A and B are shown apart, each in its own frame.
Chain A
Amino acid sequence: MKYSPHTDKDKKEMLGVIGAASSEDLFSAIPKEFRLQKLDLAEGISELELKKLMLDKAGKDYSTQKLVSFLGGGAYEHYIPQAVESLISRGEFLTAYTPYQAEASQGTLQAIYEYQSLICELTGMDVANASMYDGASALAEAVILAVKETGRSRVIFSSSLHPEYRQVIKTYLEGYKIEFVEIPHAGGLFDETALKKEANDSTACVIVQNPNFFGCIEKVDEVESICHSCGALLIACVNPVSLGILKAPGGYNADIAVGEGQPLGIPMSFGGPYLGFFAVKEKHMRKMPGRVAGMTKDIEGKRGFVLTMQAREQHIRREKATSNICSNEGLMALAACIHLSLLGKEGIKEVARQNVLKSHYLKDKILKLSGFELMFDAPFFNEFVVRCGKETDKIIGDLLKHGMIGGLPLGRFRADMKNCMLICVTETKSKDDLDRFAELLGKH
């Protein structure tokens, strides 16, 4: 396949205008010793052959379209209205870039402004940025903000925080001298007694994930008061769909709210592209990473939108920037914006309610089976941990034969949860799915 339009005649004419004898001459600056003879890749193929090749690859996968999946743990299967995909596929959105020329990018800019507004409304925060790469990197940048803002170096979180998020924070902050304090969870929740002991005047921030990695709903108010009493910033890492019913970070006085926006109209896609959302209290906005769109007027007084507060960003501030982020997840933010607009005030509540009701229905069914017990008593939103009498790998393997993907085996993350599964139920599962899943589990 070839996507460049030039004919031999075109090339000849162009070389004539340039005054070069051949295209080769244009590469004279590259020393001969570095010139490659031939790129060691297969020759190109037609569109038809490409399609066959990709369908063959795709055929080796078993997607959640075919399988009934109970996996969550940071990526969630929710129903996405068709309009989301149709709208973000429009070339005018899809093939534009960063809105550097505001007058020619009003579509993208207004959509970013609307997205920021929706995230603020959802999280109860004052200001949101245009997006981060994903939930984990957004959280890492939130920690950096807290460290810079407070001038302190202690970062406290619970072992109930998603393990991959913990890892990303540590990786991101390698160049800072940080004392990470991981407090072992108590009954699936942040251990407040231990937090009281650990929180001190060198603490930059306390991270609370809600619902946490085990699905449990944290006692956010208590974490907040301990955190703020020692002058640390509270970072809330939240599931946006849960905010249809759960108290929003702004409601418990969080300084920064971040999270994974994938549940808002973005397919699971094996882990990416996703959407990190990032929102702060107004007093922290000039320390915020990433782009921000703002409303303004044109010279005729007409409303319009531009990128603003750019003095925080890498292209202006270089090594003194609040972050190095440039390209973010624009199209994913647009998807979330459209998804939230379609869901609306009632829809977001209804989706959240169904997640609660359906996951609790399944929990009750599983508890009636012998050989399975609930790990934690804490309230949960749409996922919960079950301890199984048998090895999870065997159970998962058997379920797969019946077209089901069981929960997430937690043994890979924690030695003390070797036979535990994190089971997630969203609105995409019918009562029949749940009954059948419980029935299959019962055979173990």
Chain B
Amino acid sequence: MEKLIFEISSPGRKGYTLPKLDVPDADIKSFIPQECLRKDGPDLPEVSELDCVRHFTRLSQLNYSIDTNFYPLGSCTMKYNPKINDKMAGLPQFTGLHPYQPETSVQGMLEVLYETEQALCKICGMDAFTLQPAAGAHGELTGMLIVRAYHTSKGSPRKKVVIPDSAHGTNPASAALCGYEVVTVRSDKAGRIDIDSLKAAMDNEVAVLMLTNPNTLGLFEKNVKEIADIVHKAGALLYLDGANLNALLGVARPGDMGFDVCHVNLHKTFSTPHGGGGPGSGPVGVKAHLADFLPIPRIKQKRNKLSLDYDQKRSIGKVRAFYGNTGVIIRAYCYMKSLGSDGLKDATFEAVLNANYLKAKLKNDYQLAVEDEPCMHEFVLTGKDKKEFGVKTLDIAKRLLDYGFHAPTVYFPLIVEEAIMIEPTETESKETLDAFAETMIKIAAEARSDASLLTGAPHITPVRRLDEVLAARELNLRWKKSGA
């Protein structure tokens, strides 16, 4: 167990230096009235730099990560994050820029942003992009606000957003955040959106259908053209949740399929480090008829000079301060440049190959969630057949940790009982996939022979299985000085 930073604190220790004050010293109270000042400074820990470095280094060693472990978290695209991209994003000529610097002094940065927008337009078949949103869900919110602004400009914002039951939870949450009522449509047996159910849900109060394609079961929505027609006929728009874009690069473009608006997760598809839960980046692309509604500022090119244009009368406004998570965007830009046209397509091909390979290796020992057909970049198993041994999907996930693998996404999508959602990504070797498959098969055997190996797992992680019920019942969300 690593102590808390507060527990290694000792009064008087310091881990920082400042240049000696070179302007006249004075009592702060001569500048700021006493009633504005705090009586006691914040009681922050007092540690030396080495204490601090050891503490956080040891903490890092308690994590599984892409750099250390296979991390097949479905829907999250945990592919290798190239080191050169980190280095380039960290150049001081990028990190040292203030967002309000004169435009003439940030032309290099603006070029990167502008070219990223252009590349995303080409990859997605869209006409315009904004890089402002800070994550996928933030992109969804931005997209829904654009949808709302579009319908408002036509006379009414409309009332409903239609979402398949296989969708990520962020979809209904984003729609609700924009004041829409959520209408859920069923999936058919094969795991695709049920067309009759969709038709029944459509009317002239529906603003948009939010569709994930390929969907969360790893299946391409074959009927996407018909779906787009049904949606557009009702005067509604079609939105793509681009979480699964890693299956489409260079193969097919959402814009060609009838999607009016989409978001892209740069941290997934374009290989930027996930940072333990962000920063991400969720650019939003639109067709020409929605371009006026994009957030401000837009990057404009005039006579080889780039500038930020705030003069957009119909814009939805802003979803955050400034322009976007540039550090993430630069990495994604580097990734697109490195791989290029064929490289991006190859990556998609190999991501799909890896997923199908794992599925083939596992389908005899685990049940597939849907009928066996080629999947895209991920696939879903169900652990329901392991119930007879007293084993849940959660136990399988925890047992994987003992073998040094991060678990896949579990209990999602919600329409699959005891779901196990596996996304290997293209950067994993055949050897790694074989080792993972062998381990999964071994765990299936353990479930039959000695279920306690699973129900008691994990056994060799830094902590054993943690009590989430206790955490929720006796909330302890911050450290407090004893007696405080």
Contact = CB atoms under 8 A, between A and B. Distances in A.
B82 interface: yes
A432 to B, nearest CB: 8
A117 interface: yes
B347 interface: yes
23 contacts: A2-B343, A10-B430, A27-B251, A42-B337, A45-B340, A59-B108, A92-B60, A92-B67, A94-B276, A97-B277, A103-B462, A106-B2, A107-B59, A107-B61, A171-B295, A270-B101, A271-B324, A302-B463, A326-B169, A327-B277, A327-B280, A328-B277, A351-B18
Interface stretch (B283-291, B381-389, B441-449, B472-480): B472-480
Q: Chain B binding site: helix, strand, loop or mixed by DSSP?
A: loop
A247 interface: yes
Contacts of B82: 1, 3
Nearest to B220: A29
Contacts of A300: 464
Contacts of A342: 15-16, 47, 49, 52
Interface in B324-355: 324-328, 330, 334, 336-347, 349-350, 352-354
Nearest to B85: A50
B32 A379 contact: yes
B62 interface: yes
A444 to B, nearest CB: 17
Contact of A328 (B45, B135, B426): B135
A324 B252 contact: no
Contact of A61 (B41, B105, B461): B105
Interface in A83-105: 83, 85-87, 89-105
Given A1-B343, A172-B319, A270-B98, A114 B479 contact: yes
B230 interface: no
A314 interface: yes
A273 B327 contact: yes
Contact of A1 (B76, B250, B326, B339): B339
B275 interface: yes
B368 interface: no
A195 B471 CA distance: 42
Contact of B323 (A39, A87, A117, A270): A270
Contact of B101 (A69, A89, A221, A354): A69
A338 to B, nearest CB: 6
Interface string B236-261: 00000000000001111100110000
Nearest to A406: B102
B427 A324 contact: no
A308 B477 contact: yes
A87 B60 contact: yes
Contacts of B279: 272-273, 327, 329-332
Contacts of B344: 39, 41
Contact of B98 (A71, A89, A136): A71
B21 A36 contact: no
B167 to A, nearest CB: 9
Contacts of A15: 353
Contact of A55 (B91, B138, B257): B91
Nearest to A346: B14
Interface string B32-62: 1101111101111111010011011101111
Contacts of A347: 14-16, 18, 44
B47 A174 contact: no
A303 interface: yes
Interface string A312-324: 0111111111011
B102 A269 contact: no
A268 B378 CA distance: 37
Contacts of B435: none
Interface stretch (A159-167, A180-188, A201-209, A223-231): A159-167
Contacts of B398: 101, 103
B105 A326 contact: no
A4 interface: yes
Contacts of A25: 374
Nearest to A359: B31
A35 interface: yes
Nearest to A33: B225
Contacts of B251: 27, 30, 35-36
Given A30-B251, A44-B343, A331-B279, 15 more contacts: A2-B339, A91-B67, A94-B81, A106-B63, A133-B138, A134-B322, A268-B97, A271-B324, A273-B279, A303-B463, A314-B173, A315-B412, A343-B44, A344-B46, A379-B31
Contact of A267 (B52, B95, B267): B95
Contact of A308 (B157, B176, B464, B472): B472
A135 to B, nearest CB: 6
A385 B176 CA distance: 41
Contacts of B219: 29
B371 interface: no
A218 B454 CA distance: 58
A39 B249 contact: yes
Contacts of B101: 62, 64, 69, 71, 270, 405
B464 A31 contact: no
Chain B, interface size: which category?
A: 35 or more
A198 interface: no
A103 B466 CA distance: 7
Contacts of A56: 108
Interface string B135-173: 111101100010011000000010000000000111011
B467 A296 contact: yes
A58 B63 contact: no
Interface in A247-279: 247-248, 251, 260, 267-274
A427 interface: yes
Nearest to B30: A360
Interface in A427-443: 427, 430-431, 434
A104 B23 contact: no
A247 B38 contact: yes
Contacts of A233: none
B196 interface: no
Contact of B5 (A114, A305, A321): A114
**Top 7 nearest A-B pairs by Cβ distance?**
A175-B179, A271-B322, A91-B67, A44-B340, A331-B275, A63-B96, A60-B108
B366 interface: no
A43 interface: yes
Nearest to B465: A299
Given A61-B106, A61-B107, A245-B41, A91 B122 contact: no
Interface in A195-244: 217, 220-221, 243-244
A75 B99 contact: yes
B105 A405 contact: yes
A81 B16 contact: yes
A309 interface: yes
A154 interface: no
Interface in B92-128: 92-102, 104-109, 111-112, 119, 122-123
A344 B341 contact: no
Contacts of B106: 61-62, 270
B145 A171 contact: yes
A58 B108 contact: yes
A175 B157 CA distance: 9
B407 A314 contact: no
Nearest to B475: A294
A175 B135 contact: no
B65 A94 contact: yes
Nearest to A41: B341
B352 A114 contact: no
Contacts of A14: 353-354, 357, 430
A137 B343 contact: no
